[in-house]
A and B are shown apart, each in its own frame.
Chain A
Amino acid sequence: MQFLDSLITHILPLGYQLSIPIALAAIAATISERLGVINLGIEGQMLVGAFAAVVGSHLTGSPVIGILFGMIAGGVFGLLHVTVCVKLRSNQAVCGVAINLLALGLTDFLTTLIWGTKISALVTRLPNVTVPLLERIPIAGVFFRNQTVFFYLLPLIVAAAYIFFYKTRWGLRVMAIGHNPQAALSAGINVVKYRYVGLMIAGVLAGLGGAYLSVAFNNAFVSDMVAGRGFMGIASNIFGGWNPLGSFLASFLFAFAQSLRYYVAGAVVPTQITQMLPYAITLIVLIAVKKRSRAPEAMGVLE
């Protein structure tokens, strides 16, 4: 009973919070890969997003402007990726890795330049909100008490992405491009334009995920603070079947396993077992869930 209680009041909300940046990265990956572009640079796009958000908040005192900074920085790095991959036709995987290294070096350098250390000064954090009335719901009220705006923003983004992919003609075109860009081209679709716009939106979402980490979940920038969440997002996207909803659920599963670790620790179970939990759960689910969705057939292929 006590476990069930802490499950609802602590583990689930924390899991959800942890899933926000991963889910945003996952949707960014879904958009990229549905357009046939492998985007390993999401990690780096998140990192510059996190950094720019702190700079924005530091300069203006407004975390909201900081988040805008983060989104713009992510979008610019998305533009860099698409330009190098699509226009200059370099290898997409190599380009992604290069973007990550560039982001890591650049943010470290600029942090040291501005603050003289590898950690930024503390900045104003995005205030948490409490939804009146809903917070009074027994048990589930915890989801509406003292949470970040991202908490409510994420489902909206997931829903918007889902509707875009499955209910609009632009979504249909994006999927066609990922499966067979030649066919899309012959159907009169401007494939290059779609890739530019899509990869920039993916960058903006990744930047938003980074900004969440630095000015909503925390209130400072630390070197390499994204810590693999971008890659977890890419994995969630694949695991979720290149589908925004699946991406989100997969991200939540990863994050839930992480949050479970914090709370199960100290109970009767040895810590080694609890530390293993996230990975074990991931493995079991991966085995149990058969591949339902088809990967974009022309991933990494320009035409």
Chain B
Amino acid sequence: MGYAVQMKGITKSFPGVLANDGIDFAVEENEIHCLLGENGCGKSTLMNVLFGIHKQEAGEILIKDKKSTITNTKEAHDAGIGMVHQHFMLVNPMTALDNIMLGKEPIGLFLDRQVARREISAMIEKYGFQIDLDASVSELAVGIKQRMEIVKILYRGADIIIMDEPTAVLTPQEVQELFKILTGLKADGKTIIFITHKLEETMAISDRVTVLRGGKKVKTVVTAQSSEKELARYMVGYDVNFDLERPPVECGDILLEVRNVQLLPNARHSVSFEIRKGEILGIAGVDGNGQQELEEMIMGVRKAPKGGSIIVNGSDITGTTTKFRKAYGMGHIPSDRYKSAMVKDFSVRENYMLGFQDHADLNTYGFIKHKVLAAFSQAQIKKYNVVVSSDESSIGTLSGGNQQKVIISRELGHDPDVVIVAQPTRGLDIGAIEFVHSTLIDLRRQGKAVLLISVELTEIMTLSDRIAVLCGGEIMDSFENSRDVTREQLGLLMAGKAVGGSYGEE
């Protein structure tokens, strides 16, 4: 069988970074090929080189055995390559039909939607996509939008389809649907390049895998002859410990209590739960179902609507400021690291002060106690192994994992009783994820109450003592975490389908 894409010795550097270092990457025709690697391993750069967005410094690209001359998206389409981006490229106010045909409308002085509709409908029918062509994009569910993106590139005649981290935004069921679609496309003769950092998915969908690490290609293997463990080792360079011990902990008094908090204005039920000393409550759910509201209402960043209350250590703190809550023993590791947890251009040391600038330890009458701050920052850096040349370099220059270490060590440095942790491993590589997870387990051992909000089901299932599933701003169900809890069960709840049991009540 021939090759759909051959990239030979691709080298591409950016100021200070060698993003691709002599990478060989070959995709056979009609296979599903995973491009696996951590953030910053050079996956996106490689694909951008293939798309002509970046020009390689060395190496050559063959597409269907012909030398590639692609320099923009249109030429990529003409060469039969299409990409489904992680962030959908859709025009919200326009209809699905207009979005799909945009840029490749039927020829003619006036726009003839009927011609396009016939062709697109046939395509939708053929692959069983189920898209309402007259709905405007903003009304469509995420899974449907993704299918639209696939139809969009099929309509442009693509037979090599690149999917960039396509499952990041999907529920487990939607992932299954996507895999069915991809299998169908393969059966129809298409070639699929699937970019991901998730091992399970790689095992489930691909025929072959190419693993990248630090800008270099590690290996290309046949999936069926490999294992998650082996792939993980290629990905990070050492053996990864997947089995995290969660030793039994005696749960103590209630530390955090959330009572009747209305998360989203149109949710029918408000949210109530409590977390005890030494307990991790995991909040599962697809992004955008009230997670950020919950996180921010508990921390006082966002005002909780009337009627709800938040109780910490037995005192009602509902109307208090975020500053008060932090001083009162609440730590916060925000979901949006760059927006809410740090000031990118400030030094690591200055970032250690953020949120605690009014602490008596750190200032006298408004003047910063620089010595105390420096001592604190250096102690935390040491304790948590933050890799940084000096604590005076700006935090923006650190890797995501090290930034997160700074934030975690800052929040934990003031010994909180309650810790609100949201999407703590978003964008981190495996090593950093291991660190975050073991830190959370450690918090539990120390008798903190931890609220873990995460879209990563694996994370929720490994760490939590109890799990609550959020959908549409409501808790669909909550239960003790045990080996009996399955992803499918959680997935149904995440999609808003109740599977019996208690509803919205603890």
Contacts and interface: CB of A to CB of B under 8 A. Distances in A.
Interface of A: 163, 167-169, 171-173, 175-176, 179-180, 182-190, 294, 297
A185 B73 contact: yes
A186 to B, nearest CB: 4
Interface centre among A163, A169, A180, A294 (most CB of B within 10 A): A169
Contact of A180 (B90, B106, B108, B156): B90
Q: Is the interface of A mostly helix, strand, loop or mixed?
A: helix
B77 interface: yes
Given A168-B109, A172-B102, A188-B74, A183 B89 contact: yes
Nearest to A183: B89
Given A167-B111, A168-B109, A188-B74, A297 B103 contact: no
B184 to A, nearest CB: 23
A126 B73 CA distance: 49
7 contacts: A167-B111, A169-B111, A171-B111, A180-B90, A183-B88, A183-B90, A190-B74
Contacts of B156: 188
Contacts of B88: 183
Nearest to A171: B111
Contacts of B110: 163, 167-168
Contacts of B86: none
B111 A186 contact: no
Contacts of A176: 91, 94, 98, 102
Contact of A189 (B93, B99, B102): B102
Contacts of B506: none
A137 to B, nearest CB: 33
A180 B74 contact: no
Interface residues of B, number: 26
Contact of A188 (B85, B94, B104, B109): B104
Given A188-B156, A190-B74, 6 more contacts: A167-B110, A172-B94, A173-B103, A179-B93, A180-B91, A188-B72
Given A167-B110, A167-B111, A184-B102, A179 B152 contact: no
A186 B91 contact: no
Nearest to A295: B93
Contacts of A180: 89-92
Contacts of A294: 93
Can you list the 6 inter-chain pairs with the closest CB atoms, starting with the nearest? A187-B103, A188-B74, A169-B105, A186-B89, A183-B89, A188-B103
Contacts of B111: 167-169, 171-172
B89 A188 contact: no
Contacts of B73: 185-188
Contacts of A189: 102-103
Which of A163, A171, A187, A188 lies at the interface centre, i.e. has the most chain B CB atoms within 10 A of its CB? A187
A179 B109 contact: no
Interface of B: 72-74, 77, 83, 85, 88-94, 98-99, 102-106, 108-111, 152, 156
Contacts of B103: 173, 184, 187-189
B44 to A, nearest CB: 15
Nearest to A169: B105
B53 to A, nearest CB: 10
A97 B98 CA distance: 35
A135 B156 CA distance: 55
A187 B89 contact: yes
A247 B353 CA distance: 53
Contacts of A190: 74
B100 to A, nearest CB: 9
Contact of B91 (A163, A169, A183, A188): A183
Contacts of B89: 180, 182-183, 185-187
Contact of A172 (B74, B77, B105, B108): B105
A183 B99 CA distance: 9
B266 to A, nearest CB: 21
Contacts of A171: 111
Contacts of A175: 91, 94
Q: Which of B72, B94, B102, B111 has the most CB of A within 10 A?
A: B102
A176 B137 CA distance: 12
A173 B91 CA distance: 10
Contact of A187 (B93, B106, B152): B152
Contacts of B85: 186
Which interface residue of B73, B88, B91 has the most chain A CB atoms within 10 A?
B91
Contacts of A182: 89
B324 to A, nearest CB: 38
Contacts of A297: 92-93
A111 B413 CA distance: 71
A163 B111 CA distance: 10
A171 to B, nearest CB: 8
Contacts of A173: 102-103
Contacts of B106: 169
Nearest to B88: A183
B91 A184 contact: yes
A190 B75 CA distance: 12
Nearest to A182: B89
Nearest to B105: A169
A98 B94 CA distance: 34
A125 B72 CA distance: 50
Nearest to A187: B103
A172 B98 contact: yes
Tell which of A168, A182, A186, A188 has the most Cβ of chain B within 10 Å. A186
A163 B93 CA distance: 19
B365 to A, nearest CB: 40
B92 A187 contact: no
Nearest to A185: B73
Nearest to B111: A169
Contacts of B94: 172, 175-176, 179
A188 B77 contact: yes
A132 B93 CA distance: 47
A167 B106 CA distance: 12
A136 B77 CA distance: 60
A173 B74 CA distance: 14
B102 A187 contact: yes
A179 B91 contact: yes
Contacts of B108: 169
Contacts of A172: 94, 98, 102, 105, 111
A170 to B, nearest CB: 9
A165 to B, nearest CB: 10
A183 B85 CA distance: 10
Contacts of A184: 91, 102-103
A268 to B, nearest CB: 48
B154 to A, nearest CB: 13
Nearest to B73: A188
A252 B490 CA distance: 59
A180 B149 CA distance: 15
Contacts of B152: 187
